[in-house]
Structure 1
Amino acid sequence: MVWKWLGALVVFPLQMIYLVAKAAVGLVLPAKLRDLSRENVLITGGGRGIGRQLAREFAERGVRKIVLWGRTEKCLKETTEEIRQMGTECHYFVCDVGNREEVYQTAKAVREKVGDITILVNNAAVVHGKSLMDSDDDALLKSQHINTLGQFWTTKAFLPRMLELQNGHIVCLNSVLALSAIPGAIDYCTSKASAFAFMESLTLGLLDCPGVSATTVLPFHTSTEMFQGMRVRFPNLFPPLKPETVARRTVEAVQLNQALLLLPWTMNILIILKSILPQAALEEIHRFSGTYTCMNTFKGRT
């Protein structure tokens, strides 16, 4: 038993060195992208914003079928027509992911009409952009139901079949605010932090499930109507991401089977600073960058 433990202690650091070196090589040398031609993709919040761009990106990369979920039929219909014109089979279903029974019923309808979903993209989200004391209780519950619990319901609806097929991928379009919160969006930051923990636990739980994996995407502020009006102090130094960029990098992360993606790469520095700096220093960073007051001009869609 002693020799077994000693052997493990010797092998473990060697494994760490190998995995770090492998990751470093992967950053330099181009990796082979996964073929998506046999995949059926479902995107929640797929009618507009990043969801619409994701549908376009998946279509351009040759997926077999795309399914869009959302709460606004007009947007869903417009995006569906656009994807069909690109030559990809596309369907839409009106579904509120915050409603558990509606998710399960709509998932059943999807399986009957479209077939098995092999890539699930949890993108649907809402933000109310208010402080805790200014927030309506129902609005707070809505954020948690859609942004967090909705991922529980959609994953429970589609993951079992992925495990049976030994072919599946769960994607979460999260936010860097899950790791570094700001004032004025307490509902959003809390829900995204919960969703991040959900995905972290899920990703580890899938390690022994062949053919099924997960990707969590943490983008910086993206220029969609959702966060319209949000302002940082130095917009030229910290420009908002384009939805097209987020969509492209997300699909690439799926094709590379990448578990975690921070956008842009400079967000990695933020996470490191948050881990080593004292709270007072972090507060000064928020004041200097303008994130402390960035939601004061918020006019986004709720």
Structure 2
Amino acid sequence: MAQERLKGKKVIITGASSGIGRHLVREVAKRGADVIIIARSTDKLKRLKAEIEMQYDVRVEPFTVDMGDLSQVKAAFETINMQWPTIDVLINNAGFGVFDYFEASDLDVMRRMFAVNVLGLMAATRMILPKMLQQGEGHIINVASIAGKLATPKASVYSATKSAVLGFTNGLRMELRGKGIKVTAVNPGPVKTNFFRTADPDGRYAANVARWMVTPEAVARKIAQAIGTNRREINIPLTLSAGARLYQVFPALVEKVAGRFLDKK
């Protein structure tokens, strides 16, 4: 049963202090997994550790890491590799976005988005992969986005980072075929989290797409249920996933017909 697959497993979750990540910690802990939680806020991590260990009989170990700083990522994962004999699951969830027309985009913000969303994710994976290869098993789950398949106005840079995550995830899956390591991409549409405080400070986009928003609890639950399975992708909600598939087949038509719909920011 899905509930039993995680009992006693060791799971790393980045971006663990809020949103999807925070709910993921709860989902894997209630299934009996020990959790290594990674985020920038030491205080939030401490509170989350206390909360989870009070409710569940699992071990929670926090690491304060800025996933956009590769030296911090390297140092933290070196410690994890030394202290934890096995790691069963790595969930690369950390990421952020800023919505703006490209002509107005700030180069430092662009660099930061790629550093966190792409390079930090790759660095974490690179650090933990040798352990999984030695074990002969493991599961790497990368949280990308529907935006990685269907770019929209004012999200060109964010979409580019998530397209990079999808390309990396798909290539890695093929590299690891036959080596016992599963690789899954997660593509949520808009999620009701604090993500939009940074990405959409005036609230316009969140208001326009409210009917298609999913909860972080729902996304976390689907990810937890997929751990240990051969799921290639998790796409949520299905309506936006269908739109992304249509775009891949008929891009010009979708851009022409759905242009106004896509420009919601």
TM-score > 0.5 by shorter chain: yes
**CA contact under 8 A between 1:48 and 1:79: conserved in structure 2?**
no
Report the counterpart of residue 235 of structure 2 in structure 1.
Answer: 262
The 5-angstrom pairing of residues 73-84 of structure 1 reads: 73-84=42-53
Q: Percent sequence identity over matched residues?
A: 27
Q: How far is 1:142 from its partner? A: 0.4
* Separation (CA, whole Å) in 2 of partners of 1:283 and 1:79: 46
Q: Which moved more, 1:269-278 or 1:43-52?
A: 269-278
Report the counterpart of residue 186 of structure 2 in structure 1.
Answer: 217
Report the counterpart of residue 144 of structure 1 in structure 2.
Answer: 114
Q: How far is 1:198 from its partner? A: 0.3
Report the counterpart of residue 241 of structure 1 in structure 2.
Answer: 214
Aligned residues: 257
**CA contact under 8 A between 2:89 and 2:138: conserved in structure 1?**
yes
Mark the structure with the bigger radius of gyration. Answer: 1
Report the counterpart of residue 100 of structure 2 in structure 1.
Answer: 130
* Separation (CA, whole Å) in 1 of partners of 2:63 and 2:177: 31
Q: Which moved more, 1:224-233 or 1:214-223?
A: 224-233
> Aligned to 1:93, which of 56, 63, 85?
63
> Aligned to 1:177, which of 137, 144, 147?
147
Q: How far is 1:278 from its partner? A: 5.2
Instruction: Deviation per CA, 1:155-210: give whole Å up to 9, x if none.
Output: 11001010101121100111100000111122211100001000000011111212
The amino acid that maps onto 1:78 is R
Q: How far is 1:275 from its partner? A: 3.1
> Aligned to 1:274, which of 247, 260, 265?
247
Q: How far is 1:221 from its partner? A: 0.5
Report the counterpart of residue 55 of structure 1 in structure 2.
Answer: 25
* Separation (CA, whole Å) in 2 of partners of 1:121 and 1:59: 14
Indicate whether 1:208 and 2:181 are aligned: no
Cα RMSD over matched residues?
A: 1.7
Moved over 3 A (4+): 112-115, 231-236
> Aligned to 2:196, which of 187, 212, 227?
227
**CA contact under 8 A between 2:187 and 2:235: conserved in structure 1?**
yes
* Separation (CA, whole Å) in 2 of partners of 1:108 and 1:235: 41
Report the counterpart of residue 198 of structure 1 in structure 2.
Answer: 168
* Separation (CA, whole Å) in 1 of partners of 2:91 and 2:230: 14
Report the counterpart of residue 37 of structure 1 in structure 2.
Answer: 7
Instruction: Deviation per CA, 1:126-171: give whole Å up to 9, x if none.
Output: 1122222212111100000110111110011001010101121100
Report the counterpart of residue 200 of structure 2 in structure 1.
Answer: none
The amino acid that maps onto 1:254 is I
Report the counterpart of residue 28 of structure 1 in structure 2.
Answer: none
Report the counterpart of residue 69 of structure 1 in structure 2.
Answer: 38
* Separation (CA, whole Å) in 2 of partners of 1:38 and 1:89: 10
Q: Secondary structure at the match of 2:35?
A: strand
Report the counterpart of residue 89 of structure 2 in structure 1.
Answer: 119
* Separation (CA, whole Å) in 2 of partners of 1:204 and 1:120: 17
**CA contact under 8 A between 2:196 and 2:206: conserved in structure 1?**
no
Q: Secondary structure at the match of 1:102?
A: helix
